[in-house]
Amino acid sequence: MLKNKEIRKLCMYSVMISIIGITILWIIDWKAGIVAIAMVILLLSCFFLFTRKRYQDISKLAYYLASVYSGQPTMDIRDNVEGELSILKNDIYKVTLTLSEQSTLLKRDKQYLADTLSNISHQLKTPLASMFVMADLLNNPSLPKDKREEFLGKIINQLKRIEWLVTSLLKLSKIEVQSVIFKKELLSVKKMINKALEPLLVTMELKNQELSFSCKEDLFVYGDGNWTVEAILNVIKNGIEHTPAGGRITISCEETPLYTQIVITDSGKGISPEDAPHIFERFYKGKNAGVDSIGIGLAMSKTILQSQNADVFMESQIGVGTTFKIKFYKQMI
């Protein structure tokens, strides 16, 4: 305590004033001088005890800050006693709590980045290894022409797959870190479904799948057109991939007082109860997943829809088929 320069000055001035006062009183009357000495000793004792208590509290705060700095959990040091020291305690607690929460968020972001990079690396390994093998085979000058064309075609397909994978992962990552600004425009449900179906019609024709589509012209929802079409496209694409040749895809729309709904049903093998809770997870492949399936389309659809006051749900029955319901919730006033 006495190491503090200001405290030393205060003590020195207090002692000097006390000596002068006691001397004057002693000259006037020695009895008054004795009383003055007793009062000075009592006041100085109170001052030292009070100051020492404040120093002990400040020392506890310094120890608390050191423990927070070293990474230990934040403790609640607030108290409800009035005074500047209590205000200081409450302010320090608020600051350390905020810093602790920011540190937790930074750690989570770092882990998310590490997981994303790990997922991308893992997904790229297989097609890259395959392309290296085929490139080595193409170096053989004696390779027959038909095999050369076959390998070139496979390399092109793998490159397209990598391009789609990287593009999708980048989109999904941008949405998950909330760096995408979704527009809020009035969208025709029927036009969105038609737009989502356009790139899929050739695939359906090649698989000889039947499409049944019915939707009223006057159904509208609010959202971002391009992103919402992509979400719908991925759900329909999933149904097409899991429906065998000659199967059927049914799309319908309906409106309730709470939401507008798109129902997409396929006649595929269905999704097992073990896979059902995980199908919207990134990179999850169910038992009936195709060879080329990556497991990112449904995860992206759910993320896009949930970012726009909408959601997608799944119902499935083994051997019968699967139904996806995309619900656009209406804003309640």
**pLDDT tens profile 39-71:** 988 998 898 888 888 888 888 888 888 887 777
Both tokens assigned to 274: 């073990």
Same domain? For 200 and 325 the reply is: yes
Same domain? For 301 and 191 the reply is: yes
Same domain? For 40 and 135 the reply is: no
Contact criterion met (CB below 8 Å) for 161 and 169: no
Angle at 66 between CA 112 and CA 108, to 5 degrees: 5
Q: Residue 229: inside a domain, yes or no? A: yes
Percent of the chain with pLDDT over 70: 96
Predicted pLDDT at 164 = 80
Strands 210-214 and 248-255: parallel
Q: Residue 102: inside a domain, yes or no? A: no
CB neighbour burial string for 1-38, b if at least 16 within 10 angstroms, e if fewer? eeeeeeeeeebeeeeeebeeebeebeeeeeeebeebbe
Same domain? For 206 and 164 the reply is: no
pLDDT tens by residue, 2-27: 677 887 888 888 888 888 888 888 88
Predicted pLDDT at 195 = 94
Within 10 angstroms of residue 151's Cβ, the number of other Cβ atoms is 18
Query: Which stretch of DSSP H or E encloses residue 266?
Result: strand 259-266
> Whose structure tokens read 């359906």?
204
Within 10 angstroms of residue 189's Cβ, the number of other Cβ atoms is 24
Same domain? For 38 and 131 the reply is: no
Over residues 130-137, the mean pLDDT reads 84
Residues of the domain holding 58: 5-75
Same domain? For 126 and 233 the reply is: no
Same domain? For 64 and 153 the reply is: no
Q: Residue 147: inside a domain, yes or no? A: yes
Within 10 angstroms of residue 193's Cβ, the number of other Cβ atoms is 22
Q: Residue 99: inside a domain, yes or no? A: no
Q: Look at residue 266 and tell me whether its pLDDT is greater than 60.
A: yes
Between CA 233 and CA 168 the distance in angstroms is 13
Lowest mean pLDDT among 131-140, 183-192, 229-238, 282-291: 282-291
Q: What is the dihedral of CA 194, 197, 202, 203, to 10 degrees?
A: -160
Give the number of domains in the chain: 3
Same domain? For 314 and 227 the reply is: yes
What CATH number should be reported for the domain holding residue 231?
3.30.565.10
Q: What is the pTM of this model?
A: 0.64
Q: Look at residue 325 and tell me whether its pLDDT is greater than 60.
A: yes
Q: How many residues does the chain have?
A: 333
